Chains A and B, each alone.
Chain A
Amino acid sequence: MLTFGYTPPEFEKDDPPAVRLPMKILLVDDSPDNLFSVRTVLEPLGEELILANSGKEALGFCLDHDFAVILLDVRMPEMEGFETAESIRACHRSKDTPLLFLTGCRGDERLFPGHDLSPVDYLFRPVVPEILQSKVRALVELSRSAGLLRRQAETLAKAEQGFRSALEAAPDAMIVTRQDGTIVMADSRTAALFGFSGRERAAETAVNGAGRTPDSTARLRGVPSSGSDFPIETTSSPLYADDDVLVTSAIRDVSERVRAEESIQRLNADLERRVEERTAELVRSNDALRRSEDQLRLALDAAKRAEQEVRQLNRGLEERIRDCTVLLETANRELEAFADSAGRLASIVESSEDAIVGETLEGIITSWNAGAERIFGYTKDEAIGHSVTILAPPEGHDEVSQILDRIRRGERVRHFEATRRRKDGQRMVLSETISPIQDAAGRIAAVSMIARDITERQASEMEIRQFNEALQQKAHTLGEDIEGFSYSVSHDLRAPLRYMDGFLELLKNHIGGGLDEKGRHYLDTAIESAREMGVLIDDLLRFSRTGRGDMRVTKVNLANLVKQVQQELATDFRGRKVVWTVEPLPEVAGDPALLRQVLVNLLGNAIKYTQPRAEAAIAIGCREEGGEWVFFVRDNGVGFDMRYGHKLFGVFQRLHGDEFEGTGIGLAIVRRVIARHGGRTWAEGVVDQGATFYFSLPGAGAAEASDTGSSGVSQTEIERSSHRGSA
């Protein structure tokens, strides 16, 4: 039985992979600006753009090129868009080219007919670049696929052509069948090929085979009456008879060709395999090459680095040599300078007024200058080699060896005053500085002694001391005198005043009724004056007391002291509004009674001189400055003129008149007390704006800020509504 396996012909498969070649696009517009802008939009598509300024120019291009799409301006002066389009259609090469009209006028799109292969499209100005781009892209792709189809059709036609000629030339077996497959005729070659003679068998073959498909070529497998099947190729074509259509088929045994093809395939496969092997080998050798290249590069790098290091080492070496040279030169210069200065030092030592003596650690004299010779009376020869004990009186020998012990421990003895003995036995007082001398390794190797004769200096010191003592004695006597004076002032001056006041008062009571107004005025003025003098004397006594007597120095908590003084002075500002700002205050070393007096005076002044203010503001605080405490009392009172500031702290000095009470002793007392504590007093003020009084106390480090007074800045407002103070 004959059977045919069908293998359809394939064209595309054999084509080379499609390379995307640029397509040509024709742009036709009379306006260069329009052409430019359309070109700018279409350039990114990557196709070839050809520009024409007129319809005529466009037609010229159409004769020479195949365009994928033509863009036409509808309105052009010489040859209008549609006229141009007609001509383009008439041209053979461009008859199927898609047209894209660009128009500014609605309605134009109905005027030109399109057809399947040559579509027509319209774009209205202003053109949206994205739309133009995508339209053109679509039209180009259409052309591209149309071109592909055309090429495929051509290939097909060529293949047909080739086959037909081959058939005609080949000595093929020929059969003619009806359309139902009945063999009408078979030639001898067919019989030979299939090994049969009978009609039936031939008819069967035709039914199953070539005769059914006229006008075609098929590759089938022939099944001979005996033996194995073999490949055949049949080519059928219609044979028009009177009233029937017969099929004539040429049958060719293609065994040889298939074999050849197979062998070629094998060869090809072999070739491919070998190519693959070779490629693999090549890849391997390439890898190896690359590896060796890498190694080479590494080696080169290493060599380069080594070279660099060597160069650096060389440079370093050169620098070292240069440095050494410089050092050597410096050392030489220093050596020379040293030699110079050593010489100078030697002459300085030699010419010194002081005795400069070198000793061993055991006190044996090793060097002896002219000063030593002059002070001690021994010559150099007499002194060197002897113990330094020859320079001390017998009772001082122990002291000398004690000093040597200290030197051996590395101590230095400075300006030590000692009694020494001259060669002639005369005693004198020397000031000695004895130092250990270290060798290069830092060990104590020797002793140097520099001694100065201070016998005279001591004598004058003694004189000064005696003079000082005399002065102190005098001062003491003077102090006693002052004490006696103020005591007697206290007793003897106050008493008469008291009597004046007392008896004037008695007199007033006695004759009060009988006096006229003038008489009473005289009497009152006398009484008042006596009292004023009394106040002055009391103040003077108070002042003199602050400068005398021993200070009882203890730790004083100023924060507490301020509180006490505020309470004590409360009656002075009763009925007034006073805003106190008291910052934390430290503990200080001082006499509590005296410091209390300072605060009484300063706070009292602040209260007194803020009297004209509706609201008095008084601040008390402290700063640490340069190792001392600086306290201040600030008020918003009447202030003072800084020009007269120096008078503030004087005795009985007043910057204000009768409007404020007082004799002017308070600040003098403050200054005296603070001075006795080792501090200073000063003030700052502006007329009508307030004053700040400062005083310093030493030893900020000695006492620490106490927090017993208040934590942080406390602001206490003391307001008493009743009893406006009369003071």
Chain B
Amino acid sequence: MVPPELKDILLADDSGKDVELILTALQQHNIANRVVVVRDGAEALEYLYREGEFAQRRGGNPAVILLDLKMPRVDGLEVLRRVKADDNLKTIPVVILTSSREERDLVEGYRLGVNAYLVKPIRFNEFMEAVGRLGIFWVLTDEPPPESGGAG
């Protein structure tokens, strides 16, 4: 029996350290989906539109997009705006991950239709929990349980 393909998780963050921590957190929560890491908004859009480097990528839309706000070239809010304006993409849950508690970011994010907002806590353990919850909610509820799909 062929296990159903697990959808990708798209993680856009220009900070290697954050990426490392997030990946660790997801791993520790047994999220088995493949995590595609891009370093800015432009790459994220290339992935979503199968352009450039990602022209030949397999699979459909990602299960969830984890977006850092402050990124070079194209920032998180711009990616969010583009995703939510595209009929093809707008059903993808978008979670903004940011260290900012600035209100204007929050307001703008909600205005653009973000599905969740995670201010990265300074405490790693809290961060772990938050990432875990995110994964369970946005990845697992949308997909068959990982054990039925096997490890990716």
Contacts and interface: CB of A to CB of B under 8 A. Distances in A.
Given A490-B99, A506-B24, A545-B103, A495 B18 contact: yes
Interface string B97-127: 0111111000000000000000011111101
Interface stretch (A51-59, A497-505, A554-562): A497-505
Given A495-B18, A499-B21, A502-B17, A534 B99 contact: no
Interface string A234-253: 00000000000000000000
Nearest to A483: B102
Interface in A499-516: 499, 501-506
Contact of B122 (A487, A501, A545): A501
A491 B124 contact: no
A490 B123 contact: no
Interface in A454-501: 487, 490-491, 494-495, 497-499, 501
B70 interface: yes
A531 B127 CA distance: 13
21 contacts: A487-B100, A487-B102, A490-B99, A491-B98, A491-B99, A494-B99, A494-B122, A498-B21, A498-B127, A499-B18, A499-B21, A501-B124, A502-B17, A502-B21, A502-B124, A505-B125, A506-B24, A531-B122, A531-B123, A545-B103, A549-B103
B122 A505 contact: no
Given A494-B99, A495-B99, 16 more contacts: A490-B100, A491-B99, A491-B100, A495-B17, A495-B18, A498-B18, A498-B122, A498-B127, A501-B123, A502-B127, A505-B125, A506-B21, A531-B122, A531-B123, A534-B122, A535-B122
Contacts of B24: 506
Nearest to A495: B99
B119 to A, nearest CB: 9
Nearest to B99: A494
Contacts of B21: 498-499, 502-503, 506
The A contact surface, by secondary structure, is helix
B91 interface: no
A553 B51 CA distance: 49
B15 interface: yes
A494 B21 CA distance: 15
Cβ-closest 9 pairs across A and B? A534-B122, A502-B124, A505-B124, A499-B17, A502-B21, A494-B99, A501-B124, A498-B122, A495-B99
A545 B99 CA distance: 15
Interface string B65-106: 000001000000000000000000000000000111111000
Interface string A518-547: 000000000000110011001001000100
Interface residues of B, number: 19
Contacts of A499: 17-18, 21
Contacts of A501: 122-124
Interface residues of A, number: 22
A498 B125 contact: no
Contacts of B98: 491
Interface of B: 15, 17-18, 21, 24, 70, 98-103, 120-125, 127
Contacts of A494: 99, 120, 122
B15 A495 contact: yes
B122 A530 contact: yes
B116 to A, nearest CB: 19
Q: By CB atoms of chain B within 10 A, which of A498, A499, A501, A541 has the most?
A: A498
A491 B122 contact: no
A510 to B, nearest CB: 11
Q: By CB atoms of chain B within 10 A, which of A495, A504, A506 has the most?
A: A495
A498 B123 CA distance: 7
Contacts of B121: 498
Contacts of A498: 18, 21, 99, 120-122, 124, 127
A616 B68 CA distance: 45
A506 B103 contact: no
B17 A534 contact: no
A506 B99 contact: no
A534 B18 CA distance: 16
Q: By CB atoms of chain A within 10 A, which of B99, B100, B102, B124 has the most?
A: B124
B103 A534 contact: no
Nearest to B21: A502
Contacts of A535: 122
A547 to B, nearest CB: 13
Contacts of B125: 505
A534 B123 contact: yes
B5 to A, nearest CB: 31
A530 B120 CA distance: 15
A689 B101 CA distance: 38
A553 B98 CA distance: 29
Interface string A142-164: 00000000000000000000000
A54 B127 CA distance: 139
Nearest to A537: B122
Nearest to B98: A491
